[in-house]
Amino acid sequence: MASLPDAGRMDAIGERAAQTAMDQLQFTKGTADVMVITNAGRAVVDGQTTERAVAGITRISGLQNGDSTLWIVNRAVWKPLWFYFYNKQTGKGLYLEPDTSFYTKSSADIAAIPAAATFSTNTLVTGDLNQMLANTEVGNKTMKDLGGNSGVVTIANAWAHGAPYDLLSAVMLHNHLCPGLLGGYLPIKYVEKVLPITDSTSSYTYITTSTSCKEDAYPILWDITPGKGGAIMKTLSEADAKILTEKYGTSPRGIVVRWDSKTKTGTGIVFGSVTQTTSTPYTGPEWGAKPYSVLKAMDTITQPELSVKTLRKFTIDAVSFATLKSSDNPYRVIGDL
C-alpha cells in the first residue's frame, strides 16, 4: 500500500545525504571546497516529488546554489534519486542513492535509523580526474562505480577548476559537460565580447547549419529556446559547405546577428574555430579523453577568442534580415555563396 506523502521525508533524506557526506568526505558546514550534484527536484520517486531533499542538504551542509556549491542536474522524472558530493581538497567523491524503502517510512521510523543506513548505494570514489588518469586502475573503478552517472566526474572537476556559474547552468540543462557544449558556450562568450549588447532594444539571432550538443548553451545564456522560436537551423548541401570551407580556410560554425529592433538595423558575424596548434596527443584511457579535454579548456574559459574567430562581419537591414531568417541558405543571403 502506498504511503501518504510526508513533507518531512524528503527533507530528512537530504539532511541524511549531507550528514553522510560530511562524515565520509570530512568537511564542515559552509565549506567552499565541496559541491553536490543531484537530481533531487527532478526525480519523482514512489509518486513523491523530491525538491525538499535540496532544502535538507543546504540546512545541514550549507551547500547552496548561490555559492555555486549545489547543482540540480536535468534527468528524466522516472530516474532514481541520487546525490554526488565532491571534495576538491581531497579529490574524493561520494555517490549516494537512497534505499527505496525510505520512500514509505514515517519520519519517526527514519529518525530511528542511522544516517548512513539511509542509502543502499553509498560509494566513495576517487573523483579527481588527474588522480584517475595517473592511475588507470583507480580511474576505471570510479567510472564503473558511478556507472550511468559517471558524467558527474567531469562536472565536478570543471567546477573545481573554476567553471563559471553560467557554464554550469548550461551544463545542468544539457545534463553533462562535454566538449560539444563548450562548442556552444565559447562562441556565445566570444560574441558577447565582439558584438556586445549595451541597450534594451537589441538581441541576438543565432543561425546554425548543424545540430549538436552546442545548441544547448543558447537557451540558458541567451534565452533562445525552441518554444520561443529558437535557433534557426538550416542544412547546407555538401557542395555549399565545401565552397564556404575553401573560402574561409575553415568551416563556418554559425552566424550571429545583433539586431536592434528600434533602429531596425543589425550587425552580424560569421564565426569559425581558431585552428589549434598541435598539442601533445591524449594517450590515456578512452573514458578520459573528453573529460580531459574539458578540464584543459577550463584554463582559458574566460578567453573565448583563443578558440573562436570572426570569419566575416556584416551589417544588415530589415528586408535582408527577414530573408536571412527564412532562407534555406543563409550564407547566400549575406553574399557568401
What is the grid cell recorded at 90? 581531497
Residue with Cβ nearer Zn ion (37 or 178): 178
Compute the least distance from the CB of residue 146 to Zn ion, in Å: 17
- Site for Zn ion contains 178 (CB under 5 A): yes
Q: How far is the CB of 151 from Zn ion (least distance, A)?
A: 9
Pick between residue 178 and residue 316 the one whose CB is nearest to Zn ion: 178
Picking from 275, 263, 130, the residue whose alpha carbon sits closest to that of residue 200 is 263
Give residues with Cβ within 8 angstroms of 316, minimum separation 6: 257, 265, 266, 267, 268, 324, 334
Q: Is the dihedral of CA 298, 133, 288, 276 positive or negative?
A: positive
Residues of span 212-241 touching Zn ion by CB under 5 A: 213
Window 6 to 65, contacts with Zn ion (CB under 5 A) = none
Q: Binding segment for Zn ion among 53-61, 136-144, 179-187, 281-289 (CB under 5 A)? A: 179-187
Q: Which of 70-78, 107-115, 178-186, 254-262 is the region at the interface with Zn ion (rule: CB under 5 A)? A: 178-186
Stretch that binds Zn ion, among 30-38, 130-138, 171-179, 268-276 (CB under 5 A): 171-179
Identify the CA nearest to 322 among candidates 270, 271, 269, 264.
264
Which residues are CB-contacts of 177 (< 8 A; sequence separation ≥ 6)?
151, 154, 155, 158, 163, 167, 171, 294
CB of 307 to Zn ion, least distance (A): 17
* Residue (178 or 324) nearer to Zn ion, CB: 178
The whole-angstrom separation of Cα 327 and Cα 320 is 10
- Torsion angle of C-alpha atoms 233, 235, 241, 244, degrees rounded to 10: -40
Binding-site member from 80, 179, 180, 285 for Zn ion (CB under 5 A)? 180
Please say which residue, 9 or 174, places its beta carbon nearer to Zn ion. 174
Q: Does 96 bind Zn ion (CB under 5 A)?
A: no
Q: If we measure between CA atoms, which residue out of 92, 90, 91, 55 comes closest to residue 70?
A: 55
Size of site (CB under 5 A) for Zn ion: 3
The residues binding Zn ion (CB under 5 A) are 178, 180, 213
